[in-house]
Structure 1
Amino acid sequence: MKLVKSLVAVAITVSMFSCGNQVKEVKTLNTEIDSVSYAIGLNMATQFKANLKEVNDDAFIQGYISGKDSTNLLVAQKDIQTIINTYLRKQQTAKMEEQRAKAAKEAEAKFGDNKKAGEDFLVENKTKEGVITTDSGLQYIILKEGTGDQPASPSTRVKVHYHGTNLEGEVFDSSVDRGTPAEFVLNEVIKGWTEGLQLMKEGAKYKFFIPQEMAYGAQQRGDKIKPFSTLVFEVELLEVLD
């Protein structure tokens, strides 16, 4: 990582520190090594700003001094990269979550009516005869019950035929129309499928009504799956593979 390389490069900046371990202000760059040292310092600061929201200057300088002298180490050499990489991963995760939240908020402002239409549909649909609603909000109708094996866990691989539509009845994907069954591991698909297929046995055919939060949420998928779309699938479990 760039930050790790910067921490290694700090060894070149020896001239920035006096024997008393105090920062000595440099006002002019008289030699080539002065310029190189200063340029590396500027480069490191730029990388810190890009990767870290804050830096404890005292701890940073003490780490440099300890590393230069190889004495009084507060962190073992073998743990350095783990500490830095763990922190950077947390920062990256937080940034991605912030970006997703922002995108979801913008999508909801634009497609809020679509979200409400799905919610209203599910409220009415759950009162219809034959519709079963799970604790998660997934709704389904048993079109045909099966008698074979049942997926044991989200890591089970299955073979299915399916036919998917939006609430307007437009088909957006169909293995039935293609004439080729789909194979996948349950935890690699949308949450509504992961949960729903574990309710089925081989030979069963269910109709699922999947809330947007168990489908693609704020994402748009093609022309017919708009953000916050409630989806309808007829799914036939052909085989539990493993």
Structure 2
Amino acid sequence: MNKTLVVLLSVFTLSSAMAAEMTEDQKTLYAAGLLLGQQLSAFSPTAAELEIVKKGISDSIAGNKPAVELETYGPKIQQLAQSRRAALAGKQAAAGKAFVDKAAKEPGAVKTASGLIYFSLKEGTGPNPAASDTVKVNYRGTLIDGKEFDSSYKRGEPIEFPLSGVIKCWGEGVQKMKVGGKARLVCPASIAYGDNGAGAVIPPGATLNFEVELLAINKPAPAPAAAPEAGKK
């Protein structure tokens, strides 16, 4: 789960039934649609607005006369995306604060200075991982409405990553665990993906909820001994 988001893997996973019915060209075009959808997710378009987007795509492909001047409205695209993102982040922040405040009052909750709410679901054994370690985990991530956005369990295999390369919530929370342990991490946006969110799966300003199982800790390999300088013993 690195900063570029392992959770985005799930966005590109086709159902086996759908994939079986597609040619290689169709799969590639489907992937193009996914990428376009990720870009458009910044606008949080309504169903009606999505129809307008489809009209723009079809007019462009067909070579029809545009309904608006691209030179006029093209420069406004980024401005609208930023405005929509900021509005969504504000809504998510308000809902996330209420979720975090409630979680902090639950039995077993430990709130840290960063804002992380940590719950130990099962105690492990042995040492805690250090920030320089690589860990092997299983996990499930959900939004505050309970919608699952990623799960190593569903992919059928755990994942390994260096703790130095994950969101702050994970870097801090997993260091509190021991091998064999399970924990719940409630992550405010400030220590997750902030006001930018992550692609189409994690909205701007989203508070996240993770269930994590620590399976193994791998210490970094020791640095090789320095070779003696010439002429010295």
Q: TM-score range by the shorter chain?
A: 0.5 to 0.7
Q: Deviations over 1:37-74 (max 9, x none)?
A: xxxxxxxxxxxxxxxxxxxxxxxxxxxxxxxxxxxxxx
Q: Which sections of structure 2, spanning at least 5 residues, go unmatched? A: 1-80, 220-233
Residue equivalent to 1:43: none
Corresponding position: 1:220 with 2:197? yes
2-side partners of 1:123 and 1:182: how far apart? 30
The unaligned stretches of length 5 or more in structure 1 are 1-102
Is 1:166 aligned to residue 143 of structure 2?
Answer: yes
Q: 2:86 is aligned with what amino acid?
A: E
Task: Say whether residues 1:109 and 2:87 are aligned partners.
Answer: yes
The alignment partner of 2:197 has SS state of coil
How many Å separate the matches in 2 of 1:124 and 1:207?
Answer: 14
Rg larger for: 1
CA gap of 1:147–1:110, structure 2 versus 1, over 3 A, is closer
C-alpha separation between the residues in 2 aligned to 1:218 and 1:124? 22
2:88–2:203 CA contact under 8 A, matched in 1: no
Give the Å deviation of 1:139: 0.3
Q: 2 CA distance for matches of 1:140 and 1:117?
A: 19
SS at 2:196 equivalent: coil
TM-score by length of 2: 0.56
Letter in 1 for 2:147: E
Provide the rounded CA distance (Å) in 2 between the counterparts of 1:133 and 1:186.
20
Alignment of 1:188 with 2:142, yes or no, is no
Compute the TM-score of the two structures, normalised by the length of structure 1. 0.54
Q: Which of the residues 142, 148, 155 maps onto 2:126?
A: 148
1:67-119 residue CA offsets vs partner (Å, 9 max, x unmatched) = xxxxxxxxxxxxxxxxxxxxxxxxxxxxxxxxxxxx98873334311111001
**1:148/1:203 contact within 8 Å kept:** no
**Pair 1:135 & 2:109 matched:** no
Q: How many residues align?
A: 139
Distance 1:137 1:217, change over 3 A: same
Flag the structure with more relative contact order, 1 or 2, with Cα contacts below 8 A and sequence separation at least 6: 2
RMSD over aligned Cα atoms: 1.7
SS at match of 1:218: helix
* Mapped pair 1:200 → 2:177: yes
**Aligned counterparts of 2:148 and 2:187: Cα–Cα separation in 1:** 15
Instruction: Give, in whole Å, the separation in 1 of the partners of 2:216 and 2:110.
Output: 23
